[in-house]
Structure 1
Amino acid sequence: MRLGGRLQAAIEVLTEIETRHRPVPDGLKDWGLSHRFAGSGDRAAISNLVHDALRMKLSHGFMMNGDAPADLAVATLLRQWRISPEELTATLEGDRFAPEIPSAESLADCLARDLAQAPAHVRADIPEWLAGSFERAFGPEWELEAQALTSRPPLDLRVNTLLSNRDQVLEAFSDRDPKPTRLAPFGVRFEAGEGPQRQIAAASEVSFARGWFEIQDEGSQLAAGLVDAQPGEDVLDYCAGGGGKSLAFAAMMNNEGRIFAYDADRRRLAPMVERMRRAGADIIDIRERAADLNGLESKMDRVLIDAPCTGTGTWRRRPDAKWRISEKNITDRMADQDKVLDAACAYVRPGGELAYVTCSLLPEENTDRVKAFLQRHPEFETISLKQRWRSVAADSEAPVPYADQNLGLLLSPRRTGTDGFYFAGFRRKS
């Protein structure tokens, strides 16, 4: 497919998403099924166009003076893919599959609009009603933090030190320009491509089948490291999901000790069985039901809550979620977070630690929940995270990414080059 056909396809997918309120993956999948002639390169380019358009939906709409799917797709080519108005119109001319677009002169006028005149939330590309929460989280730099969420995310791998090491994984991908992650000590990064370039399919590699690595964002790797699980300990991963952090713990603990993996939705645990086998993680014990945790109360050295949240820290990867979030979503997640905190803390032994993690940037889900938890549970106290951060972060000069009032750490694309993650640690008083 030429650029014109890819542009038209992106407009069709964006229209489908807008009119039928469908997630991006579903819209892209349906388009691919009905256009089987499109090759993998075409599908990747169309996916990039759609995701890029949604990452900067508001500012694109301001610059184009319209936010129809065609406006957003064309703005993406101009502003993010850096195709000049003259080049774009010349490329599409005579392409019978291309949509009609404004003249090069009109497009140049759009690009000349002063984005500084737009409202702050438009420049930040976030819903207007969330601007206050971002300002609470980041202070005067909140707009820059939000803008950092409009970039494409990299692909990060966590080296499985039970079976491999970082040098081996870097060598396995030597023809793909891998780099060691700056902060996570066992991470490997592939930077995001530009324009139609697609990211590598790391899970299709032989080294993945051998268990040498897992796909895991650097921020998630750091969150797991901050839990500080030690060989020989008993650890409970209370909201384990697919098991990414449990697998990281098994490597950190050198397969010595016990890890209990539980999730209220036991269907989410199913992929862990194969992941454990591939990784050689022998100390993970999957517990499918809450009743299966009976007898573990007050016995765990460490308990991790990777809490259900709005996922605002992952907007680079799921930009459509940015435009679907509602106040009710936040209220519901806050109730879920309080519930799992109250339930999981019962398993921490005296002197043991409780870790609370979200992939949200909103203080309502982060520092506010910490304050409320401490009021309900005076038997817990917060732990100092400065030295913990220094021991985990590979870059000793990296600033400690404190959250508001130093209640935990707040990672973000702008601060740490990672997805957005919040981490708070508590110790149960002896």
Structure 2
Amino acid sequence: MRLPGRLSAAIEVLTEVDTRHRPVSEALKTWGIGNRFAGASDRAAIGNLVYDALRRRASHGHVMGSDDPRALVLAVAIRDWGEEPEMLNAAFAEDRHAPEPLTKDEIARLERGDDSLASAGNATRADAPEWLESALERAFSNEWVTQLRAMTGRPSLDLRVNMLKSGRERVMKSLKRFEPMETAIAPHGLRMPAGSRDARTPNVTSDEGYLKGWFEVQDEGSQIVSALVDATVGGQVLDLCAGAGGKTLAMAAAMGNTGQIFAYDTDRTRLAPIYDRLKRNGVRNVQVRAPGEGALDDLAGRMDRVLIDAPCTGTGTWRRRPDTKWKLTPELLAQRTAEQAALLDEAVRLVKPGGTLVYITCSILPQENGDQIAAFRIRHPEFAVRDAATLWGAQLSLPLAAVTDAEGGLILTPLTTGTDGFYFCALQRKS
């Protein structure tokens, strides 16, 4: 497929997303099944067009005077991918799969480009939902637009080297064809930066090293907060929302397969992949607890660390899942914050005196982060926030790069740490 056909396909996929309210990943998969002539490069390019359009939906829509699929895809081609309107129209004329030629109005709007954004509101320039503006300003003060603009780029592909089985040099050699580099902060991470235009993301999960358990795909931000848990050799740790086990695996490696990690989740489906991952990674100090009445009763008052990787709005992952940015509602936010408060209260009985409760989200919203910590400390004054800078220095041996909020928690963002958005706060129980 040539670019005109790819643009038409991206418009078709976005139309499917808008009209049938389907997740982008499903719409792209369905399009691929229905158009088997498209090769892997074509599918990657179409996916890039769709995701780029959604990352900057508000600003592109403002420039174009419309955020319909055609307007967004054309804006991506010209504003993000560097195509020229006249050259596109010439290419369209020679390709029967092309969209309709750009109109004079569309060309005029694209030529004005960023100049037209000067009159736009902050939420539009930040490519963020307008109803979240006050929350984002509370999180980042007068830097919030800059922070959110940094969340409109493509994410890198990050890996965590499994030190139970391998080392950085060995994995870098195995993946040499992808030109990996060491992560800037995470001590055992590797990164493959995102490409531009129609660049494909490396398929590392088919690599021999992955199949042997030498590394896992894990964003550097997730690696950082996993390290900050400070899961010590020989300790007793509960991962209360383990899901597929990404942070469980990182902690097991940090503990050198000593002590005991209990991996639990209320959803059996989310938990199911952990069994194969533990085996492939050579992890022996994890006991999976399936959901059920009384499943954690014997752990009460025994845990050195209880990790809550809380269900959240996922606002920190907007680079990877930009469609969720525009689907988020006040009702969903309220549902998530209620679940988070309940999890924090449930965890209290499991933390031993002197132990630490760790709260993590992949959100940048204060309602899910600092507000939760402030409310929890009122309900449970026996917990005090551990100094984040001290934890950072001990585990990462680098100057603190994350933003510190009023409650003493850390906020990781693409702008400050080059990672997905994460929140971290550790609370120690009085002895």
User: How far 1:387 moved relative to its partner?
Assistant: 1.3
CA contact (8 A) 1:370 1:407 kept: no
Give, as a single letter, the amino acid of the residue that structure 2 aligns with 1:20. R
Q: Which residue in the other structure is 1:8 paired with?
A: 8
Alignment match of 1:141 (pick from 124, 130, 143): 143
Match of 1:161 in 2: 163
Query: How far is 1:346 from its partner?
Result: 1.2
Amino acid corresponding to residue 301 of structure 1 in structure 2? D
**What's 2:350 paired with?**
347
| SS of the residue 1:112 aligns to | helix
| Structure 2 residue runs without a partner (length 5+) | none
Deviation at 1:86, TM superposition (A): 2.7
Look up the SS of the partner of 1:352 in the other structure.
strand
Aligned amino acid, residue 57 of structure 2: K
Residue pairs, 1:211-360, within 5 angstroms: 211-290=213-292, 291-360=294-363
CA contact (8 A) 2:373 2:407 kept: no
Contact 1:127–1:323 under 8 Å retained in 2: yes
Residue 369 of structure 1 deviates from its aligned partner by 0.2
CA contact 1:360–1:421 (8 Å) conserved in 2? yes
Say whether the 8 Å CA contact 2:402–2:417 is kept in structure 1: no
Q: Tell me, in whole angstroms, the C-alpha distance in 1 between the residues paired with 2:317 and 2:109.
A: 33
- TM normalised by structure 2 equals 0.97
CA contact (8 A) 2:79 2:110 kept: no
Q: CA deviation at 1:101?
A: 2.9
Offset of residue 397 of structure 1: 3.5
Shift of 1:3: 0.8
Instruction: Give deviations 1:379-424, integer Å, cap 9, x for gaps.
Output: 1111111111122335x24534212x15200000111100000000
Residue 65 in structure 1 maps to residue 68 in structure 2:
no
Look up the SS of the partner of 2:378 in the other structure. helix
Aligned equivalents of 1:345, 1:17: Cα separation in 2 = 42
Residue in 1 that maps onto 2:53: 53
For residue 411 of structure 2, what is the amino acid of its counterpart?
A: L
Distance (whole Å) between structure 2 residues aligned to residue 60 and residue 325 of structure 1:
19
Where does the alignment leave 5 or more consecutive residues of structure 1 unmatched? none
What letter corresponds to residue 155 of structure 2 in structure 1?
P
Change (3 A) 1:374 1:26: same
Q: Distance in 2 between matches of 1:400 and 1:321?
A: 24
Which stretches of structure 1, 4 residues or more, deviate above 6 A after TM superposition? none
Q: What is the deviation of 1:83?
A: 1.4
Alignment of 1:205 onto 2:207: yes
Deviations 1:318-346 (A, max 9, x none): 00000000000110000000011011121
Counting only pairs closer than 5 Å after superposition, residues 59-208 of structure 1 correspond to structure 2 as: 59-103=59-103, 106-113=106-113, 114=115, 115-208=117-210
Q: Secondary structure of the residue that 1:292 maps to in structure 2? A: coil
**Secondary structure of the equivalent of 2:404?**
coil
Residue identity matched to 2:381? P
Q: Which amino acid in the other structure matches residue 157 of structure 2? A: L
Displacement, 1:200?
A: 0.2
**Aligned residue-pair number:** 428
What amino acid sits opposite 1:410 in the alignment? I
Cα contact 2:392–2:400 (8 A) shared by 1: no
Give the Cα–Cα distance (whole angstroms) in 1 for the partners of residues 81 and 419 of structure 2: 22
Question: CA separation of 1:398/1:377 partners in 2, compared to 1, >3 Å: closer, same or farther?
Answer: closer
Q: CA RMSD in A?
A: 1.2
Contact 1:150/1:316 (CA < 8 Å) preserved in 2? yes
User: Quick one: distance in 2 between partners of 1:32 and 1:281?
Assistant: 37
